[in-house]
Amino acid sequence: MSSDPKREMLRHTLATLAYRAAKVLRGMPVECAAFCASQGCRTPLEILAHINDLFDWALSIAEGHQQWQPSTPSGWNAEAERFFATLKLFDDYLASEKPLQASPENLFQGPIADALTHVGQLAILRRMAGAPIRGENYFTAEIKAGNVGSDQPSPRREF
């Protein structure tokens, strides 16, 4: 665990993102992955692949060799697995004593904030495609820095 409070806040943010994304991804019908809200909009599959690219980019920034490499989306399940894998690689770097080659603020305002926005888009598109998730009081959710895998705690209070 890092002793830097800013790094720890970033790690808590990643755990929050993992919790919220797991809720959206869990049980999502595979056919929803191709849902298109309107011409020119990304599908959930394309958004998820983009989120994964964001965390590859975030890690490259943290390591000091910033590189944006957009990928071609593979299948829904593969992209969902990739999401948690790329998130873990970035979280592991933040948890280490390796120096950040960018400020925590820039890492947050760039790739992390973008990913938070996109997880919200996935939730909306899932609802529009006919497979909504239940609302939740996220303030009471059991979220802990370092827990960035797909196996997230059950919701404490859904509505």
CATH 1.20.120.450 fits 5-135, yes or no: yes
Average pLDDT score over residue span 7-36:
97
Percent of the chain with pLDDT over 90: 97
Is a pLDDT exceeding 80 seen at residue 1?
Answer: no
Is a pLDDT exceeding 70 seen at residue 2?
Answer: no
Which residue is listed with tokens 């996109």? 118
Confidence of residue 145 (pLDDT cuts 50, 70, 90): very high
Is a pLDDT exceeding 80 seen at residue 72?
Answer: yes
Structure-block tokens of residue 86: 């790329």
pLDDT digits (tens, 9 = 90+) for 80-113: 999 999 999 999 999 999 999 999 999 999 999 9
Residues in contact with 30: Cβ distance below 8 Å, sequence separation at least 6, in sequence order: 76, 77
Q: What does the alpha-carbon distance between residue 156 and residue 52 come to, in Å, rounded to a whole number? A: 28
**H or E element in which residue 120 lies:** helix 113-128
| Residue 37 pLDDT | 96
Q: What does the alpha-carbon distance between residue 116 and residue 127 come to, in Å, rounded to a whole number? A: 17
What is the overall mean pLDDT for the chain?
A: 97
Q: What does the alpha-carbon distance between residue 138 and residue 12 come to, in Å, rounded to a whole number? A: 13
Q: What does the alpha-carbon distance between residue 116 and residue 101 come to, in Å, rounded to a whole number? A: 22
